[in-house]
Amino acid sequence: MSVLVNKNSKILVQGFTGNEGTFHATQMLEYGTQVVGGVTPGKGGSMHLDKPVFNTVKDGVTSTGADVSIIFVPPPFAADAIMEAAEAGIKVIVCITEGIPTKDMIAVKEYLKGSGARLIGPNCPGIITADEAKVGIMPGFVFKKGKIGIVSKSGTLTYEAADQVVKQGMGITTAIGIGGDPIIGTTTKEAVELLMNDPETEGIVMIGEIGGGMEAEAAKWIKEHGTKPVVGFIAGQTAPPGRRMGHAGAIVGGADDTAAAKMKIMRECGIHVVESPAVIGQTMAKALGLVTA
């Protein structure tokens, strides 16, 4: 079993013929992902990367049976692209676009309620189910199939965590990059819950950062409902209050938003908190009883 995407997922690329869409769709195809076509308004009926191009998501879904979309659309148009995908019946929508206005995302969140669609992102690296489907911009070679799930706000740290886990011989089930914007489609808790319910996932790596309350929310859920070991890391441990660190959502607004406060809550909830991403793999190995040292 896998979480969100697998070898049978049929992916439609929104913004297919642009530079970003072309580059990453090529990488996804090389990984073995089942990309069935793409959407570029005005170019419907043409072919790109030997795949059909459609004017609308609805046309693409009708023609190909696509159930997943990945969005490489400029910020002013990305919110509309998300809602178009949901309206067309896409079940998993991955939005890579960075810089979508917050007011647009408020409208998207409201629109998605009751739609049956799950949004990952925006401003995220996407999802990868190792050796099955890469729906995102992550370097696929890092992810080898195994038994550890990853939930992360940070793209770069997702890759680092995966590398650490693979080097310990455990491998990855699914890695979910949820995005670092203030308003995102899937929270840390929701992503952790998906992995906690996946029978093939035996442990979870949870990577957060300063700002917001998602890690605390997830930690409290894990304390109540968790059945698998969770290794946690918080980026931005040296950030002073008021300093934003890269992501729009990574800004300390109060005492509970700091890395120290989050790490304290996570420890109290039974999470194996690490001070450095360099020890994520070995900490998980210990948590699973694979090593004793």
Whether residue 176 contacts residue 152, with contact meaning beta carbons closer than 8 Å, is answered with yes
The total of other beta-carbon atoms located within 10 Å of residue 264's CB is 15
Euclidean distance between CA atoms 39 and 283, whole angstroms: 43
Q: Which two tokens stand for residue 270?
A: 């039974």
Give dist(CA 171, CA 90) in Å, integer. Answer: 29
Question: 82 CB contacts (<8 Å, ≥6 apart)?
Answer: 71, 93, 95, 108, 112, 119, 122
Rounded Cα distance between 215 and 211, Å, is 9
Q: Are strands 118-120 and 126-129 parallel, antiparallel or unpaired?
A: unpaired
Which of 227, 183, 216, 1 lies closest to 95, judged by CA? 183
Using CA atoms, how far apart are residues 221 and 188, in angstroms rounded to an integer?
10
Q: Which residues contact 79 (CB under 8 A, 6 or more apart)?
A: 100, 101, 104, 105, 107, 108
Phi, psi for 37 (deg, rounded to 5): 160, -170
Does the active-site annotation cover 247? yes
Note the helical H segments in the chain: 19-31, 57-64, 75-87, 102-112, 155-167, 188-196, 214-225, 259-268, 280-287
Please tell me which residue in 24, 225, 247, 272 is annotated as part of the active site.
Answer: 247
Q: Could you give the residue numbers annotated as active site?
A: 247
